Structure 1
């Protein structure tokens, strides 16, 4: 049986990315078709830690991994780095003496334990003595009952994690209750602020960025466009002279930078750097944009799409609505982009839009191999891991150059 790894982001209340829950995914369906929970747990651990490498999957962040009753009570030896792992006790595990003894042993070995989809009852109260984190599915509560559950759990020395947050309003409510961690794709959805214009500084930056998408623009014109933004020019020179490029001779002018990177690459790096200048954008959203950009580009190469540069652009711009707090239609209306790119961003239409939709489906764990016969799931996972590596390295380089 082929097992693949999905992941869902976990944030703290400052919207810093702190970890991922690693999700079981088999090769034939777009959902977790788990017929043997123990095998699924084992394969996620093996694949994440041995086959793929935990660092490639989560970087230096935490990996939340579900474990079953058998893994707890049979004292399976976890060959896992304790500082990077959170073991999640599934909600259907009964709280009996055998399980409690297994949890006690895991705690003594130094593992961090989380209770998944926890609902406090008389028969599971003893779990809390070993738990470090309690995860609450906010879909199982209304606002009043969630506040009551939080109040009761605060009496114990546990961190609270809110699951299945779908928008920033839910995030803000849970934050006000005292949750410390938050799980879901809510950052990718815009919080629309009606009647508030896009700030001129951001709008100018986006227009400058979009002007580089003209396929007819020359290297000299690229240099001129970039030079119009002093901070962007400075950031580009800082980045290209950083250790990420490993140059032996310092690059001292925009012309040298443009000539060194080339027509296509300079466009790509300036776009990435420009998004980084949107200083009030949460760091995870910038990282997500970079990963999507590379993922769209890789899918385009795989499908022999001739517009792979446009696919990179669409992936990078796909979170502009969330970054700007506006609908994608409104953001796109301000930008001199081609109709193909706008159609892809707004409606997921056309060849480029289809590639963006495939990237998003993989990211959100809704990908269906039957709808993409030219790329199997194993290959999609490899592309995504490569995209993650690109995103992490690029973001790290930009952060050092800032």
Structure 2
């Protein structure tokens, strides 16, 4: 049987061609580009795991701090949090994994954290690091996670140690390190683990000889440089203020109401975008469009929002506050302006005001992620009113967006209101130049009041 040479494993399929926005930086950027790229982009590595027929079975997801294709991990928990945050809320599960499983390295700290439940058990395998020592409390936690549907893999096994024997009854998969395992003990190790009914992965397979040996010994899955080196995927960095995330967590901790949560999230356009990615992930399977921030909060649930905020805190790593980005500031101010304008012309239509705010938030997201509006918005399942307003400037919401753009650039927004359709002209006529100037000032003051946070 023949295998594809290293680096030639085909990528998984991507809906809406979202993969076009991803970049493989390992070959595209040299050493000199890394500092600048690292400030603008986030990265995830993925290495294929193949079955006995050479077909792609899964990916191991790896921390990458830059375009350089190797890991510099100083904090296991933070590295794992960044991998999960970037896979789910940044690049997207479908773009990173396609239809395949994702193996995620995880240490003791995150095993006990509620954050682990952000990962869908049917998509992610928890790969416990070799540095973890197992005790009764951890064994109980692993049993709990398995009952929740997670599969447990043991990483970098090279001998039948007491630590391994303690956890073996509670694991599903064992990865045997072909570089570290004594070849004289390899056959016995593999036979013993197979007798316990474990799925065996031969990892760090670097030669055809090692691959042939692993097949002979009955290994089920294979990973290593012989098949493919890790690929590095990236997307533009999304920054979230630690202070705003902590404030959000404080609200959640005291069971704040929907109104308070909505007000807090409105000040954080970047977190809103990631919340929409989360709520429209396959874990929820809503089968309907999200048309307001309040609806997204209700659909997600406060517990999932808390998990996500915690994950972003873990993954922060001391990044510069996102509010320093002028595009984010513009998105926040525009969203508030549109909300105020919507309330001005339809004072009794909260749904229209909610949709106006989200339209403003997402009207510039494609610039932040370096894509096009349709490619950025399609995975988020926004309501047609919002999507059509942003992509085609259609309907009353599209007119309101054009007015917001003109007002933000000190152009004649009043002429746009006059040029709206006949059925909308009467209500838009209420947006006189004086009103628009007042709303613009109020929006800037509203967003600016939170910059000091």
TM-score range, shorter chain: 0.3 to 0.5
TM-score by length of 2: 0.40
